[in-house]
Amino acid sequence: MFYGDVLETIIDSFKEGMDAAEIERLRGMAKSFLANYNPPSVDDESDEVEDEDARKAIISRLTAADCPFGKETVDAIISMWDSTMDSSSDNAEEKIIARRRSALLQLLGMKVHSFAAEDIERAAKAMDESHAGMVKLKDFLLEEISTSVANGIRPKPILLVGDPGCGKTSLAISLASAFPERGHAVISLTGKDAAFELSGVDQAWRACTFGLILKAFLQAGSMSPIIIFDELDKIGQSETHSRADSAFLDLLQPERARLFTDAFMALPIDASNAWYIFTANTLQGIPAPLLDRLSIFQMDDYSFDDLMEIADRVIKDRNRTARRKLGFSMKAKRRLVYSCFGMSASVRPLKEAIDRVYASKAKLALSSASSEPIKVGEDDIGDAVFHNVEFPDLAKDFIYSPGVISGISVMAGRGFILPVEARNVHSPLREVKVTGLVEQVMLESANIAYDLADSYAQRHMHMNLEAVTVNYTYSIQKRGDSASLATALAIISDLSGIAVPKTTAVTGAVSLTGNVLPVGGVLAKISGAALQGARKVIIPSANRKDVEDVPSSILPDVDIIFVSTFEEAIERTFPRHIQVRENERQMA
């Protein structure tokens, strides 16, 4: 009977703080109501009579002396019943009532599911089948499930932080899909700028509707779903409504989540049994009170072996649907992975590179009736991946003199040498002027390079910088801070009058105190610089793992120098020359 079910649902929603005996006593009240309440037969004239009789019976039960509810809770239940059962208003209100009744009926059939010991293995299997690598993240998720099983509590709300395309959301979906009895839902937070979008709009407004959170429960069909909130860092910030992220503050605290109330539904439900998984590309912009409620996991980059396994899976998928399969040699696959490795934590560049190889062989596949796989060799990779991309050899005819350093840039996944020039200019002003097609971060990094070079010159060369002009050559868009090490070295080269060979290429960012910081695309930079004649490449020590993960057989034949500090970079770029010059000054 619907009325009894509604009463049972309302009882469940308000059982917080009761012990087992009180809950059981309340259940008995519900059963007694069902056993003793016999509504009149339903016809066109009896609806109002039945509703009123049900209301009286419910009030009688809820106001009995042994009812464990307080007056405020009883009033809220009766108000909820009235708003749910009153169908005497106009058509629009009847539709609202119908929607709320429908949701209530669905909520009645939804159950709470707890994780069991066997679910740990089920989760591990689902994640391993869908995603290669990501060992630390998988262990993190399995630990949350294990803790839930051991302690009988829901897993903590978590936040997965990583680059776009790194697989955090798809792995979370794979995990959730392993538990169909719990159900899952994915909510994109991009552009959501008001709390009502998540927690509902009450019926006083024309656009009244359920919020996305309650819709997620209804979609999952369970009171303990896995709900994935995607792109938390891209959530909007309304200036006229409550911030959207404010809707999470109560939801992420179990004691408050037990009385989560959607504004349209106007009935508290127990939302404390769901597992909430958030994803973001960065922590920037996410309020501290929200971060305090989340267990944060920072994604690692994929290893070379991980990407090899991913490449195998992607190729297998493409061959499954391709008209004619491609057969990649091991060298071809290594060259393919090498062309993308270290560019970012995302697997998208690798997938795009594989798609370009298939596109390059599409014409051949259609021109032959053979069913034999088309062989793909190492040479085919470069032709396909870098097809129609022109990589200028900007250093080829560039005259190197003191103040010029071979920096390394990346375009379309491939590195090339980009000379960086610096000139010290006699001036009463101590400043740095930057020319070239550069963005804000690069301008700021040039200022850091200036201050760092000035500090070094004062301590080791007994000289002061005045005005410096830095030129990032050629009309190529430049961004990021990976040229700041080359910039600082170029300033010292000009100040010391010592030229650095064009065969020495440099990449790395620097801090104000002289630390050399990691950069992206290291392998592409090493490979590109080697193709354009570099024999020595200086890179940050923090990028050592990027190089060591790659089989030595496919690395280019260059001397790779790892440096941790600016002074170390000076020593490896200017062997003994700077020190000799300093001694000469002291003797003079």
Each residue's pLDDT tens digit in the chain (588 positions)?
Answer: 344 555 555 555 555 555 566 566 656 655 554 455 444 343 434 444 455 665 666 667 666 665 545 566 566 666 655 655 554 445 667 777 778 877 877 887 788 999 999 999 999 999 999 998 889 999 999 999 999 999 988 899 999 999 888 889 999 999 999 999 999 999 999 888 888 889 988 877 878 889 999 999 999 999 999 999 999 998 877 666 677 888 898 899 988 998 898 988 888 888 999 999 999 999 988 989 999 999 999 988 788 888 899 999 999 999 998 888 999 999 889 888 887 765 566 788 888 889 989 988 888 888 877 888 999 988 888 777 765 555 556 667 788 999 999 999 887 667 889 999 999 988 888 889 999 888 899 999 999 999 999 999 999 888 889 899 999 988 777 888 999 999 999 999 999 999 999 899 999 999 999 999 999 888 888 988 888 889 999 999 999 988 887 777 777 889 999 999 999 999 999 865 554 344 444 434
- What integer pLDDT is reported at residue 343 of this predicted model? 59
Q: 453, exposed or middle or buried, with CB in 10 Å at 0-12, 13-18, 19+?
A: buried
The residue whose two tokens read 């009579």 is 49
Residue among 575, 113, 7, 205 at smallest CA distance from 197: 205
Residue closest to 521 by CA, chosen among 439, 411, 437: 411
Alpha carbon separation from 516 to 27, 56, 235, 300 (Å, rounded): 67, 76, 34, 20
Question: What pLDDT is recorded for position 392?
Answer: 59
Contact 27/11 with Cβ under 8 angstroms?
yes
Q: Which residues contact 304 (CB under 8 A, 6 or more apart)?
A: 337, 338, 341, 549, 550, 551
Buried b (16+ CB within 10 A) or exposed e, 461-486: bebebebbbbbbbeeeebebbbbbbb
Is residue 398 within 8 Å of residue 503, measured between CB atoms? Answer: no
- Residue 512: the pLDDT is 93
pLDDT at 42: 36
Q: Is 152 helix (H, G, I), strand (E, B) or coil?
A: coil
Q: What is the DSSP letter of 167?
A: S
- The Cα 201–Cα 532 span in angstroms is 62
Q: Which two tokens stand for residue 250?
A: 């109560």
CA angle 516, 520, 523 (to 5 degrees): 105
Residue 533's pLDDT is what? 87
Q: Are 156 and 263 in contact (CB under 8 A)?
A: no
